[in-house]
A and B are shown apart, each in its own frame.
Chain A
Amino acid sequence: MKFTSRHTAAVIGVTLAAATLTGCTEEAGGGGTAAAAGACDPADVTLVGQVRNESNPYEAAWLDGGDAFAEQVGLTQERLTYDGDSTRQQEQISQLLAGDTECLVMNVLPNGDSDTPPIVEGAEEAGAYLVTQWNKPADLNVTDYDSWLSHITYDGVESGKQIGDALAEAVGGSGGIIALQGILDTGAAKDRFAGLEESLAANPDVELLDDQTANFSRAEALEVTKTLLTKHGDDVKGIWAANDDMALGALEALQQAGRDDVAVVGIDAVPDALTAIEDGTMTATVSSDGPWQGGIGLAIGYCVATGELAVEDIAAEDRAWYAEQFLIEQDNVADFVSPETDEADFACDNLFSRSQGAMS
């Protein structure tokens, strides 16, 4: 216990002395380089891609896309994962920003909407180039910041509506469906469900029997679907899932329940879902192009960092935009089975070619 007392005294002493002598300031050492300078030697640029985890095909493909881009410009990408843990994401970002931030380019998938502001402000303060994807609070404007270059997402309302319509068609325009929601704290989940509601309004004979969250998880979707199937029995004609993982979980549940008359739709176009659509067990999904997302974020940052593109030259509508997406059904699934990144997509003058317009 000797550990205690002497330490106590020392630490209190030092802190108090430090506090009284120097007072409090807002800045930690370092940081604060001017953002839009954009004159980095291409070789000095550090590329960082951060997603939730590598144990998810979509996000692993995202990082691989980032690697492909890095290779294209002769660099390597630092792959970070935070295991779906918001706190850990913040911790990693702040540690990252405490290092050399001069030519740092980050392509980040924030865990939830609320995780975006601190990342943005940290990057702004440190002068690191940041592109975020998917999650952002609606009232946070990219144009208010210099080093937050762009925010890319898919129009969730549109996706939710598209697959909702496809489902309605598959069940023949009338019947009961159940919905599996994503992590409720994400814009994506909310938007997609809003899309479903729009679709339901347009298809008045389709009835939403129940909606439960399965947190974007295949295993949870399996359990929830099993229970809901028991609860609603043969009334269930279709299952709307806010992503493909949950749709696949629902498919397993259907298979275990011996039901093959239920249509299932999802979003993301993960390989397994595409296979399922090819087989005819699943009805539709909407493409989200992981590899492209992994590359494009880095590409935007790289172009700005090396001075090939100036922040002020990026049109306001390209600071926060919807990327192009496609409804995939059995007739067009073959086109999407093996997504490839196209180097041309990442050229500095072609970065925004997939834009479907500014975020509303």
Chain B
Amino acid sequence: MTTTSPADADREVVHAGRPRPRRGISLSDAGPPIALVVIFGVFAVLSPDFRTVSNVQNVLDAAAVLAVVTCGISFVLMMGSIDLSAPGIMGASAIAVALLVANNRNDNDFGLFGVAVAVLLGAALGCLSGLALVVLKVPSFMTTLGVSAVGLGVATLMFAGVQPNVTDPMLEGWAVERFLGLAHLTWIAVACVLVGALVQRYSRLGRYAFAIGGAEEVLGLSGVRVAPYKVAVFTMAGAFYGLAGVLVTSQLGAGLVQAGRGYDFSAITAAVVGGTLLSGGRGGILHSVVGVLLVTVLTNGLVQVGVSPYWQGGVQGLIVVAAVAAAVLPQRRRNQVTK
């Protein structure tokens, strides 16, 4: 949970001799995709149910929500911050959207506009974490934890004891209707990933988020005011969580306060497994997507090959550690700082 100072980075290079300047993907980036292919292959051999087309569809559909959450969290991790606010923000936006589209609680029927409001609510809550980070100078670990609690509170307030059920055909359709074999939800997630990747590559926000993770102090020396970008990144992450809340609501057909339970750690796990460093400055959306698929394939595959549900979590944990170890070990140096 710390940054590598530029000096460390310098040294790394000096000691590694003189690597050729590179632009593309390095060998260390190839680890997670290889792991994904290997794990997929192993399950495919072990379980005939796993290698069916319908199961592959199922895996992709199941990965949709996590992918959207991970899109958001990747930007935050890239900056070297951390974000635990997904459960709260998703809960709030899930209830909000359920109350805004056609539902059994009130006469609202705002359709897409309601979805937009829920996403905005997520963005606003994300903005709150960002503001607390830059204004109060409280570490993101705490601000996002606090905002998560606030989000759950807001969700509980709106919930008011009666489950809001979605009757809006559009929102329900997202989870049911299919295009090219995948649910609309999954296509929305794919779109999110594309947007995320474009933002990361082509927008100042994305590049600065990356730079903040690399050497925040340098940005200051170059006359870049970092704070607005940090707030913007958290806001964007919040919007992604908001959308994820909407997707969960669409899947469940109802707004649940617990819509986002567990997504914080799963998303971090996915991002890290995909090769994003918690210390920031490395990784990205496409890395994270590989991580999401890895985690989802694991979950699905373990059920398919019939591993006891008790053990599933443990096996997953073990594989995550092993995956990271496999990625880290070849690059191990003496006196390397590991936090």
Contacts and interface: CB of A to CB of B under 8 A. Distances in A.
For chain B, give the interface size range.
35 or more
A217 B258 CA distance: 9
Chain A at the B interface: mostly helix, strand, loop or mixed? helix
B156 A55 contact: yes
B90 to A, nearest CB: 11
Interface string A189-231: 0000000000000000000000011000111001110111011
Nearest to A217: B258
A175 to B, nearest CB: 19
B62 interface: yes
Contacts of A230: 49, 52, 54-55, 58, 304
A29 to B, nearest CB: 33
B176 interface: yes
A249 interface: yes
Given A213-B309, A230-B49, A272-B163, A248 B257 contact: no
Contact of A231 (B61, B104, B254, B303): B303
Contact of A252 (B175, B257, B300): B175
Given A212-B309, A213-B309, A222 B251 contact: yes
B49 A55 contact: no
Given A57-B161, A217-B258, A256 B251 contact: yes
Nearest to B260: A219
B159 A54 contact: yes
Contact of B161 (A54, A228, A249, A252): A54
Nearest to B160: A60
Contacts of A157: none
A211 B160 CA distance: 33
B256 A219 contact: yes
Contacts of B175: 252, 255-256
Contacts of A272: 163, 165, 254
Nearest to A270: B163
B115 interface: no
A227 B61 CA distance: 11
Contacts of A74: none
B113 to A, nearest CB: 24
A55 B62 contact: no
B183 interface: yes
- Return the 10 tightest CB-CB contacts between A and B, nearest first: A60-B161, A55-B257, A57-B163, A230-B55, A230-B58, A227-B303, A231-B49, A55-B159, A55-B156, A256-B175
Given A226-B58, A227-B62, A230-B54, 15 more contacts: A54-B156, A55-B91, A55-B159, A57-B161, A212-B303, A217-B258, A217-B261, A218-B252, A219-B256, A219-B258, A219-B261, A223-B62, A227-B304, A255-B253, A271-B163
6 contacts: A54-B156, A218-B254, A222-B252, A255-B176, A255-B253, A271-B163
